[in-house]
Amino acid sequence: MNRTRILLSAAALLFASGAMPVLADDIVLGGSAPMSGAQAEFGQSQIDGAQLYFDQLNEKGGIKGNKVVFRPLDDRADPRQGTLVAQQFCDDSAVIGVIGHMNSGVTMPALDIYSECGMPQVVPATNPELMRMGFKTVVRPVANDFVQGALPAKYVTEKLGLKNAVLVHDKTVFGQGIAGVFKDNFEAGGGKVSGSYGTNPEDVDFSALIASIKLENPDVVYMGAGMPQLALFLKQMREQGLKAQFIGPDIGFTVDFITQVGAASAEGALMTFQLPPYDSSPELKDFSDRHQARFGRAPGPYASLGFANAQVMAAAVEKAESLDRAGVLAQLHGVTVETLLGPVAFDENGENTTAPMYLYVVKDGKFELIKQ
């Protein structure tokens, strides 16, 4: 008697906890990025961008007459939460594709789980390793960190003629990795790296480190770290009167960077980013307007990437012979599509063959694109 009751209530719980009802012919796609915590601004913007595309698609009648249901889950930029999310998507047989995760550190452990359940995955994370781990279920439309580290190294050695650099990184997979890529390219361009310094990801006081960097008298400082560390470092660097050219990666591409450093001190800082500004083409302007109309706010930093990733995923679903994971997966690598951010086609590793990278400079308290 007792056992039946337990079983019954367990079954009831299962039903109750099942997510919103999905009609049999709806296409369910998952998405995951940090939607809370310090990186929420970046993560939420990706989710919003993807949502915008799927809304647009549904207005036109969906894919092959089926409505697309986009189901975003928060991974909090936490690898443990990320694997839980991955498992949740895998366990829900209605989900036939996932766009995620934003952070390389979260994506890496989740890859294994997605590949095990044959889940087609479009990855926005940028660590080069991700596509070299041999998983066949993933593609990446965005440029990886090899491109991101190489572009500013080429720019400062060739255009600015700066030859003496110091590297600072926060010892994370991302920070240390990208600083290493910058180093290789900077040296290949004839520059000399006179020092490489590690800090803790949570550090806020860099004064001692900056004083010792001053002894090296560098003309370039490349920092592979997150926010607010990038801002704090540059602020303290300028306070100590170290005038070197400062370069940072995509995480610093936010208005917060400039407010936290102070517009005067931030002036001239270089930052790489995977996406062009929202006023750089008529399509992007149109996207920006539609985003404003749909969500009541301007698109966040990664919104256009979220939109483009959704376009890639939708194109694979469109071509799929059967609307299940295997069907989408069969089409994923071969997909070619003209996205909001340009043409996308994948090489044998699942990397985009023509992924662009953009270099921005802080000018008068704003990020301004440097024309190549």
**Residue 207 interacts with other proteins (CB under 8 A)?**
yes
Maximum distance among all Cα pairs of the chain, rounded to whole angstroms: 82
Q: What angle do CA 128, 132, 136 make, to 5 degrees?
A: 125
DSSP conformation class of 96: E
Sign of CA dihedral 291, 292, 295, 298: positive
Of 103, 137, 157, 260, the residue at the interface with other proteins (CB under 8 A) is 260
Residue 214 corresponds to which tokens in the numbers above? 């001053």
Task: Single out the segment in contact with other proteins by CB under 8 A; choices: 25-33, 179-187, 225-233, 311-319.
Answer: 225-233
Of 25, 158, 205, 324, the residue at the interface with other proteins (CB under 8 A) is 205
**Residue 25 interacts with other proteins (CB under 8 A)?**
no
Cβ distance to other proteins smaller for residue 196 or 281: 196
Check: CB of residue 192 under 8 Å from CB of residue 163: yes
Beta carbon of residue 152, minimum distance to other proteins (angstroms, whole number): 23
Of 59, 91, 202, 348, the residue at the interface with other proteins (CB under 8 A) is 202
Q: Compute φ and ψ for 41, nearest 5 degrees.
A: -60, -45
Of 197, 294, 323, 330, the residue at the interface with other proteins (CB under 8 A) is 197
For 324: left if phi > 0, alpha if psi spans -120 to 50, otherwise beta; the answer is beta
Residues in the interface with other proteins (CB under 8 A) total 33
Binding mask 32-51 for other proteins (x = CB under 8 A): ----xxx-xx----------
Task: Single out the segment in contact with other proteins by CB under 8 A; choices: 11-19, 209-217, 296-304, 357-365.
Answer: 209-217
Q: What angle do CA 78, 81, 82 make, to 5 degrees?
A: 80
Tell me, what amino acid is at 197?
Y
Whole-angstrom distance, CA of residue 125 vs CA of residue 131: 10
Check: CB of residue 357 under 8 Å from CB of residue 275: no
Cβ distance to other proteins smaller for residue 37 or 109: 37
Binding mask 135-174 for other proteins (x = CB under 8 A): ------------------------------------x---
Return the bridge partners of 164, or none. Answer: 192
Cβ distance to other proteins smaller for residue 127 or 265: 265
Q: What angle do CA 119, 120, 122 make, to 5 degrees?
A: 130
The rounded Cα 322 to chain-centroid distance in angstroms is 30
Cβ distance to other proteins smaller for residue 189 or 195: 195
The residues binding other proteins (CB under 8 A) are 36-38, 40-41, 171, 195-200, 202, 204-205, 207-209, 211-212, 215, 227-228, 231-232, 235, 239-241, 256, 259-260, 262
